[in-house]
Structure 1
Amino acid sequence: MKVIVGQGSCGVATGAKKTADEFVKQIADKNLNVEVGLTGCVGTCYLEPIVDIYADNGELTRYVKVQPGMVAEIVEKHLVGGQAVSTSSISEIDEKFIEKQQRVVLRNCGLIDPENIEEYIAVGGYEATKKVVTSMTPDEVIEEIKISGLRGRGGAGFPTWFKWNAAKSNPGKDKYIVCNADEGDPGAFMDRSVLEGDPHSLIEGMIIGGFAMGATEGVIYVRAEYPLAIHRLEIAMAQAREKGYLGKNVFGSGYNFDLRIKAGAGAFVCGEETALIASLEGERGMPRLKPPFPAQKGYWQMPTNINNVETFANVAWIIVNGGAAFGAMGTEQSKGTKVFALAGKIKKGGLVEVPMGLPLKDVIFGIGDGIKNDKKFKAVQMGGPSGGCIPAELIDTPVTYEDINKTGAIVGSGGMIVMDEDTCMVDMARYFLDFTRKESCGKCNYCRVGTKRMLEILERITRGEGKDGDIELLEELAYKIKDGSMCGLGQTAPNPVLTTIKYFRNEYEDHIYNKKCTAKSCKPLLTFTITDKCVGCTLCSRKCPVEAITGTVKKLHVIDQATCIKCGKCLETCKFGAIEKN
């Protein structure tokens, strides 16, 4: 019998490490012959901490939301007594979350120990590497990737084979392959989960990519805020070297290839490839004009290829199963699968991997089970700060690069932030613009100054100080910033503003002309009043932190609007529904 505790960042954040330690203690106290192991995130983050118990015959029993206090009962009844404790398998717990998924990138996440290379090998790991370096030519590898239709999963969706072929075709004494693991979008955690749950899939993809373009050195540029991912990558790389899969003479083929990790400082702009290269070289992370492209002159002016984690994690599967098998999933132009991080006002947040072309509705409602507290779905932000808001009326939009682009958003790296009726779209635009303004490297005037001016306007509007012409001024600035910025950060920074104006212009107008927040979210525009339902219980006045509520027992109370700080404590406290928020 074996106990496996999910210990991705989502599991650890909910107490999985303490749960695992308690299992070790309880099992030792009872002198049981039971191994306690770990795995990464299986995707159902909303069920963490997750504990899988495998019987000797391989039968799985899965426990969810397991806190340390629950361990003693599970050990006593299940491990000792052989009787499950009110649980079921993941398919029975949440069949809808799994049934519409097709897992390629996440094929091993939550199923194998990321710190044990033998478990990766047992599920076919490094077979693709062996096949490539011992029996294929670089051109054959690139052709297989071309057949697959794999496009870069980092945001731009550029054909992977083309980038590889460009790096291969350009002469250079040295060539480099780089993984962009600097996942910076708010609400995105796809790459982190792969690094934590299946690091060998990334390593294998980079070895194969390096072979295809003639690179002998690879760099994984991962944000320093991902310490668990870095730790598991280091373990995986050491194990691969020990096996002879990484380093000199890979699989005895004569091909030399090794990897190293560069911990980035968490600058969002370093997601742009030329800024990333500058950071690798020890310079400030600032983009440069293209051409020359990295495939011509990249890291140390040598031919360089950059893809993100998810892109590389597809490669070994494609080599083993064939490019045609990957291309058979998805649509004609957007092939394969895509991993999305469901976050925000959704019932079942976590990671999902679906074939491209599945409607947004199937992802948000079919897999994510809809909106928390059954509130009304309002919009979904796709593509992070560089993306846009897709409104409820476009919920049937297929998830493809082309269809999402038509809405004004982008697929991006895969973040999906779901919003309900209580979300103020003006404030949402302000939040994302505040992020991009802070993350601007400052090289371009339009990006550095323009985003600040746009943010100032949005802040005024959300404070109730908007004025006639503000919407038009926002649009004018947005297009100038898009046209005048050198890199993707500035060129896409206005997207959240433009899409919210396009689909939710009425909310901007309400803020500016009626001094009202449609979603009743912006504090400066809120008014709390006490209605005739008040019975004079005095509870609200006692809970008010600024003593803005006055009144005597069994008499109607009153809120002093000049003193009220709009905290909403009275609304939360009142048991008679006598407080109104307007």
Structure 2
Amino acid sequence: ALAKAVTQMTPQEVVDEVKKSGLRGRGGGGFPTGMKWQFAKNSESDKKYVICNADEGDPGAFMDRSVLEGDPHRVLEGMAICGYAMGADEGYIYVRAEYPLAIKRLRTAIAQAEEMGLLGEHIFESDFSFTIHIKEGAGAFVCGEETALMASIEGKRGMPRPRPPFPAVSGLWGKPTNINNVETFANVAQIIVNGADWYCQLGTEKSKGTKVFALTGKINNTGLAEVPMGITMREIIYDIGGGITNGKKFKAVQIGGPSGGCLPESMLDLPVDYDSLIAAGAMMGSGGLVVMDEDTCMVDVAKFFLNFTQSESCGKCTPCREGTKRMLEILTRITEGQGREGDIELLENLAKNIKETALCGLGQTAPNPVLSTLKYFRDEYEAHIKEKRCPAGVCEKMLHYEISDACRGCGLCARQCPVQAISGSPKTKHVIDQNKCIKCGACMTACPFKAISKA
């Protein structure tokens, strides 16, 4: 593909082919790739840069890692084609240090490409030269945001900056820069070799090609699945993923990582494309897909993801730094049985304000798990607040264990209790002291007669 681009096509023809393909950014934003390249090409400068965002930070996502470990040359080729198209002679791959094997194989691939003359000076005896460097990230989630990523490459603290100016005008060291993620660059070579019309055969009108998802959670077939855009969630989870583990009932799927949303069973037939997911209150994200069964508490899930984004907030802007902290405090209170009337409305108000005023895309999407669970699972929030009850039996501080009349008085539960909260005479029904009980569940696990239940 690089040979064809450099020897048979002009830079503008390469950009036009990528535009025609309809390829959109696979890192979450879904911005048209060809348009991004055009902006960078149109910027006049003595120096331009190409950056590959390999800072895969979403919990449960490992698509980029698989590509970098399995076929790094595909990414290098996509970056070199981009460099030729926009007039850049230098590129950076920003990859998290937690991916040592990916880094090792990238270094090997870069050395191989340089040895074969596919990277370096005068590629294919043309005027085009291109070199690629690796920058190891320290694992900050916020460095997945493009302006924070560039600050990190420059040796500064990884924090976003306001836009405009956009990277295509003023990016790395103030020079025009194009940033795409691993999967986006991995699509480029095939588009150039086979043509945009070939690529457009898959996908929907506004979302072309395929997308790789990382299937995790309560699903039988975990791992990576590459599917055409427009396939339904039901097909991904049941036909490819093999359905829910242990024959349990499907409850929700979290798509798009911490920035995405939780979709209920009623949305299983939703086509998986950029616009449909955003309309449903979720987003494509980088492709993490976490499946949850009937034993999942959606309030606890919202708290988990918000805890992640709150701890990963860079702290630069007040809405994200303070707003997510207040939201997390409310959610924690609700899951501990201390929820109050008005908490749901307060969460919605805070979430909407953060979405509208946070500095970067990560802050703006941080409330999505809360908003989507409030939209589709509001009854669970109300049960926690009004009835002081966790319907899924997950929130420990709201649970209590009870011994039923099926108890035979064997004493096994009392012997397993680490805090001696269970008492009773042999062959008589035992009782649990709720003030002593630490809700560890050891008694229920130990009981051979299924006489202990949690409520």
Indicate the TM-score class for this superposition, using the shorter chain for normalisation: over 0.9
The equivalent of 2:403 in structure 1 is 530
The equivalent of 1:363 in structure 2 is 236
Alignment of 1:340-359 (within 5 A): 340-359=213-232
User: 2-side partners of 1:136 and 1:387: how far apart?
Assistant: 39
User: 2-side partners of 1:546 and 1:198: how far apart?
Assistant: 54
User: 1-side partners of 2:202 and 2:217: how far apart?
Assistant: 28
The equivalent of 1:491 in structure 2 is 364
User: 2-side partners of 1:348 and 1:551: how far apart?
Assistant: 46
From 217, 230, 233, the equivalent of 2:103 is 230
From 252, 272, 289, the equivalent of 1:399 is 272
User: 2-side partners of 1:542 and 1:239: how far apart?
Assistant: 64
Look up the SS of the partner of 2:92 in the other structure: strand
User: 2-side partners of 1:407 and 1:237: how far apart?
Assistant: 41
User: 2-side partners of 1:233 and 1:525: how far apart?
Assistant: 49
Alignment of 1:204-353 (within 5 A): 204-353=77-226
Once the two structures are superposed, residues 112-160 of structure 1 have per-residue CA deviations (whole angstroms, 9 ceiling, x without a partner) of xxxxxxxxxxxxxxxx111111111111111111111100000000000
Taking structure 2 as the reference length, what is the TM-score of the superposition?
0.99
From 413, 426, 448, the equivalent of 1:553 is 426
Kindly state the Cα deviation for residue 281 of structure 1 after the two structures are TM-superposed.
0.8
User: 2-side partners of 1:551 and 1:197: how far apart?
Assistant: 61
Answering whether residue 308 of structure 2 is matched by residue 435 of structure 1, we say yes
The equivalent of 1:5 in structure 2 is none
Does 1 or 2 have the higher relative contact order (CA < 8 Å, sep 6+)?
A: 2
User: 2-side partners of 1:570 and 1:468: how far apart?
Assistant: 34
Segments ≥4 residues shifted beyond 3 Å: none
What residue ranges of structure 2 are gaps of 5+ in the alignment? none
Once the two structures are superposed, residues 368-388 of structure 1 have per-residue CA deviations (whole angstroms, 9 ceiling, x without a partner) of 011111111001011111111
Aligned partner letter, 2:119: L
User: 2-side partners of 1:327 and 1:545: how far apart?
Assistant: 62
RMSD in angstroms over aligned alpha carbons? 0.8
Look up the SS of the partner of 1:379 in the other structure: strand
Aligned partner letter, 1:245: L
Answering whether residue 41 of structure 2 is matched by residue 168 of structure 1, we say yes
Query: What is the percentage of aligned positions where both structures have the same residue?
Result: 65
User: 1-side partners of 2:95 and 2:137: how far apart?
Assistant: 6
User: 2-side partners of 1:479 and 1:226: how far apart?
Assistant: 35
Once the two structures are superposed, residues 54-80 of structure 1 have per-residue CA deviations (whole angstroms, 9 ceiling, x without a partner) of xxxxxxxxxxxxxxxxxxxxxxxxxxx
User: 1-side partners of 2:184 and 2:71: how far apart?
Assistant: 14
From 295, 299, 302, the equivalent of 1:422 is 295
Kindly state the Cα deviation for residue 389 of structure 1 after the two structures are TM-superposed.
0.5
The equivalent of 1:124 in structure 2 is none
Aligned partner letter, 2:123: V
Count of residue correspondences? 455
User: 1-side partners of 2:383 and 2:69: how far apart?
Assistant: 45
Look up the SS of the partner of 2:23 in the other structure: coil
Once the two structures are superposed, residues 360-415 of structure 1 have per-residue CA deviations (whole angstroms, 9 ceiling, x without a partner) of 00000110011111111001011111111111111000001111111100011101
Kindly state the Cα deviation for residue 253 of structure 1 after the two structures are TM-superposed.
2.4
The equivalent of 1:91 in structure 2 is none
The equivalent of 1:112 in structure 2 is none
Kindly state the Cα deviation for residue 321 of structure 1 after the two structures are TM-superposed.
1.1
What residue ranges of structure 1 are gaps of 5+ in the alignment? 1-127
User: 1-side partners of 2:185 and 2:38: how far apart?
Assistant: 15
User: 1-side partners of 2:253 and 2:397: how far apart?
Assistant: 25
Alignment of 1:97-116 (within 5 A): none
Kindly state the Cα deviation for residue 538 of structure 1 after the two structures are TM-superposed.
1.5
User: 2-side partners of 1:321 and 1:545: how far apart?
Assistant: 65
Look up the SS of the partner of 1:194 in the other structure: helix
Kindly state the Cα deviation for residue 349 of structure 1 after the two structures are TM-superposed.
0.5
Kindly state the Cα deviation for residue 537 of structure 1 after the two structures are TM-superposed.
1.8
Once the two structures are superposed, residues 141-185 of structure 1 have per-residue CA deviations (whole angstroms, 9 ceiling, x without a partner) of 111111111000000000000011110100111000000000111
